[in-house]
A and B are shown apart, each in its own frame.
Chain A
Amino acid sequence: MRSYARPTTLPDLRAHLAAGPFRILAGGTDLYPGAGPQLDGDILDLTAVPNLRGIRVDGNLRIGACTTWTEVAEAYLPPALHALQQAALQVGGRQIQNAGTIGGNLCNASPAADGIPPLLACDAMVELTSATAIREVPLADFLLGPRKTARAADEVLTAVIIPQAALGGRSAFVKLGARAYLVISIAMVAARLVVQDGRIADCAVAVGSCSATAERLRSAEAALIGVSVSDAVARLDPHLIASGLAPIDDIRATAAYRGEAAVELVKRAVAGALA
């Protein structure tokens, strides 16, 4: 069975959800590569709903789920989202950045999704919409494991929301892969730091590709609070970083390498956010 629907308004979309379940299609950059000659299933295409696209700030910052990576990269955003914009420029090539969406990246839930660590570092929430309800879930709780999320079959992810409280500070993203472009990360790190009076007042560090889902390093973050900017990188404790991760061996790297690389990348991301 195959069907295809492309609602053009949010109410229309919600009406469809009542009649689900559907395979949700956004940018298509993950769905099509996994398909055979044809894309199977009953497809609900989100990309024609205007409310799902674009970025706006009203206290919180709201990124529509179908906002493309190019749109994220080219938007004027606070420095706290610099890491997200750096990541946006490293999601595939420009073709993928022009089609792939932030919501799709989260729902695909790859452990190597480049968009996730920068959003975790900003305490991002995701907005899930069904025919009858809208709920917000912390991104960290939304991601349940590789290719697994808390999205119910009758829901779609409609927006990513950065709370106003997490829009402070500066951020940086560091990605490690075996080639220059079009590369699945061996590891990547996003760091966001708020500095007051030369000391770190708030800090968020998230690491991807080194555990089943990207992780915030709460212990390492806590150890940085109150530390002077000039001491920050030196004060990063490799054990606290490693203890927050559970890397595996795969074709791209060994687990041991990932653990070591993560420590180095955290240092560079923290240094980058403080630069």
Chain B
Amino acid sequence: MISFTLNGKPVSAMAAPTSRLTEVLRESLNAKGTKVGCDAGDCGACTVLMDGRQVCACLIPAARAEGETIQTVEAEDADLSRLKAAFLRHGAAQCGICTPGMLIAAVDLLRRNPNPSEVEAQDALGGVLCRCTGYRKIITAVCDVGGETGSDPAQNGRVGDAVARLDGAAKVAGDSFGADYSPDGALVVQAIRSPHPHAAFSFGDLAAFTARPGVAGVFTAVDIPGRNAFGVIPPFADQPAIAQSPARFRGECVALVAYEPGAEADIADFPITWQTLPALITPAEAEAEGAAPLHPTRPGNRLIEGRVRKGDVAAAMASSAHVAQASMETSFVEHAYIEPEAGSAWMEGDTLIIRACTQAPVMDRDDTALILNLAPERVRIIPSAVGGGFGSKLDVSLQPLLGLVTLRTGRPCRMTYSRTESMSSTTKRHPAEMTGRIGCDADGRITAVEFEGRFNTGAYSSWGPTVANRVPVHVSGPYLTPNIHARARAIHTHGPVSGAFRGFGVPQAALWQEPIYDELAAKVGMDRLEFRILNALRDGDASATGQILNAVGIAPCLEALRPHWARALSDAANASGPMRRGVGVASCWYGCGNTSLPNPSTIRIALSHQGRVVLHQGATDVGQGSNTVIAQIAAEALCLPLDQITLIGPDTALTPDAGKTSASRQTFVSGRAAKAAAESLRRTVLRLANAGDGARLSLTGPILTVTEGSTRREVDLASLPTDAFGYALTAEETYDPPTSGLDENGQGKPYALYGYGAQMVELEVDPALGTLRLLKITAAHDVGRAINPQLAEGQIEGGVAQGIGLAIMEEYIAGRTENLHDYLIPTIGDVPPIESLLIEVPDPEGPFGAKGLGEHVLIPTAPAILNAIRHATGAVVTKVPALPHRILAAIKAAS
């Protein structure tokens, strides 16, 4: 028995003396505000105060807590309350998984230093990783902890208001993520995973293992009742939930063990024999003559090739005044959300309920139902709060595994991936090998783009087809390109499965194309920014796919950078000292929604008999803010205040399908559906009141007042009959972006709407060490209409941070960087000040003109960094991450 003081109250718990303090808090004391991200002291999510000092609870033996004072995010504490308010006020919490650790680290700081500087805040919070926010708003919140909380009456939740996120209070309290709910009596599920990239395996005496004390069951591929293949794009579905021999990548699940609650999971001597097989690690090996296909239907290990061809590239290149050629290589990049996959499952009657972190509840339901041979309506997916996704939580991970155990045992179960399991078994950004050339005329106008990209799609299809199709469409960048021939192929290897990661291959392509534009500008003798402005797509121009574009915002973004660019170039020219200062710029464009495929969203909005506006919002908010943005759009369209809206969902039993949180589509597609539903509900109300379009609504209790001029009518909602949805009045609307298929040359209208942006990076290079110091990033993004400017800035800052990681530190190597100390993501000291310039070129297709933003923001950062390095030193980096040794080698090669 271990006794200590937790948040001012004496507590006691039964715990092994060396069990982690996190386990005591979470499992024995049910204090789940303290999160676990790595169990290794690498992420700081579990930061608590012990005897007033911040420590990682995952590294503290339970016995050492005896007699101590422990404080967690659940504490009632004045400093903590002020910090929570500041975090909400400044939008410092996005997904919320790092927030408890950040808050506690900040409490530790404030008690030592009530008025911290920015650097002091960074030093104090340097041990907590955040993957969403880019840290800047966290620093601001900590340094402004004493600031005013007063509400701005102008910020009442209309479209354009920077209201605090509606789910923010839960985030700063320690939200309930996948691992934070455990049904009573839940079995604890552990996966057995392949330690090899390619290996045959066979099982020993599973019955004997099953008979061990504490083991409730062992499950392998033969136990799967349905189709043992899932995939986000149904025609390509190829990934087993539990592999049959052979395993095709390191980390692949080959069996499950379910343990009784409280039993110690020990899978060290699980009866399995491995026979390693030759592994195809690189796409070159996988494409080599005679290489065995991973999947028999995909000869040459080619999953797919995407193409765009327009005009006559050969002739255009031949007559170009200047042509520049380049190659670029990128690495596997891990999403590194701080929440490892986690969830639980149980039965309610005939319905299998799975509560887990996800970006795509309906896809989870449908894939899980297929795997388990259930009708989809017998599976209900309840998304937990999601501690970051960035694309990887689109694919199912543990949902079918949880479902299988509960279905087979009839008992509730739960599962939490370790950090290493999360990193080794889930999807990555595709490594790319890209080469090609771009031409321009003597005036600097782009004439032609020729591109070939090979993308390592890993062992299974996942989002490989999407990457192969998106890259050729976007590889010109947002520039008028009369002639193009672009091909991108996805090649299977025995590597980690490459899937969706913020940008679907477009960030890699930008790393190829944007440095070439710098080189062409130099050849023409033009300023690099002006070269881009000259070539920027304009309304009425045709894209590479022949789509006539409108609401094109790239030129306004680039033009907004002009004064900053002039100032930065001047600063760089006047800088002295041993550091070399450089400035770089890069652009982005990005089509919102699925590429040439339907992707509808449906939103339901209702007036209850009690007088609430109930928004059934099925778009999962993984931190990006759809809970708030969709509600703001609905409130605006309905013409009622935001604070009268009650959010329901997402939950496949309660919310209509709002599609997946990917492709920067939720603000646009679900936003359009929400707008349509709210307008429909408003029309119904106006009809009931016999009022015209301009009437004002107000809601007091169940009385809905409709005012038109001097006429006031009251609708008593309580008196209305109950409709099919259980409400007084309900509207449900669907929106599906109008697109067309791409022909064999990739011509067509792949997206209904594009967003645009451009970023400028200022940095210093240490020429003796090849290290960088980022000084400032200025990010201009055309969002069409900023529904919530604070959330939009949060997306920009977070995307920039991930772009920094892509550019200079992140390289996932299977078997070697499966943790957060060998795999580096930016810390609070690695993200410089970011100035966001929100540009609004409204798109008639978007809700109130709004465009998507979530992925766009990551695309320009990395190429702008490379361009700044080149400006500073002349170094041409051809492989990212640009680690110090690569930069130093490039500096030497240039001189």
Contacts and interface: CB of A to CB of B under 8 A. Distances in A.
Interface string A7-46: 0000000000000000001011100110001110001010
A252 interface: yes
Given A6-B63, A94-B123, A95-B105, A182 B821 contact: yes
A6 B17 CA distance: 10
A70 interface: yes
Interface stretch (B146-154, B378-386, B749-757, B883-891): B883-891
Contacts of A181: 122, 126-127, 827-830
- Chain A at the B interface: mostly helix, strand, loop or mixed? loop
Contacts of A25: 18, 61
B816 A178 contact: no
User: For the side of the interface on B, what is the size category?
Assistant: 35 or more
Interface stretch (A125-133, A153-161, A214-222, A254-262): A254-262
A143 B83 CA distance: 45
Interface residues of A, number: 43
B816 A96 contact: no
User: Top 3 A-B pairs ranked by shortest CB distance?
Assistant: A93-B127, A180-B829, A181-B126
Given A2-B18, A32-B20, A257-B885, A98 B54 contact: yes
Contact of B769 (A4, A32, A176): A176
B63 A45 contact: yes
A233 interface: no
B15 to A, nearest CB: 11
A27 B41 CA distance: 12
A94 B126 contact: yes
B16 A38 contact: yes
Given A32-B59, A99-B60, A179-B826, A43 B18 contact: yes
Interface string B570-599: 000000000000000000000000000000
Given A95-B44, A179-B809, A253-B884, 11 more contacts: A2-B18, A6-B17, A33-B39, A179-B829, A180-B827, A180-B830, A183-B824, A184-B821, A252-B883, A257-B885, A257-B889
Contacts of B126: 93-94, 180-182
Name the residue in A27, A89, A95 with the highest tally of chain B Cβ atoms < 10 Å from its Cβ: A95
Contacts of B889: 257
A186 interface: yes
Interface string B95-119: 0000000000100100000000000
A168 interface: no
Nearest to B42: A182
A67 interface: no
A136 interface: no
A34 to B, nearest CB: 8
Interface string A131-162: 00000000000000000000000000000000
Contacts of A179: 809, 824, 826-827, 829-830
A94 B124 contact: yes
A178 B809 contact: yes
A98 B768 CA distance: 34
Interface string A80-123: 00000000010011111011000000000000000000000000
A32 B827 contact: no
Interface in B30-77: 39-42, 44, 47, 53-56, 58-61, 63-64
Contacts of B883: 178, 252-253
B200 to A, nearest CB: 26
A182 B38 CA distance: 14
A275 interface: no
Contacts of B610: none
A47 B824 contact: no
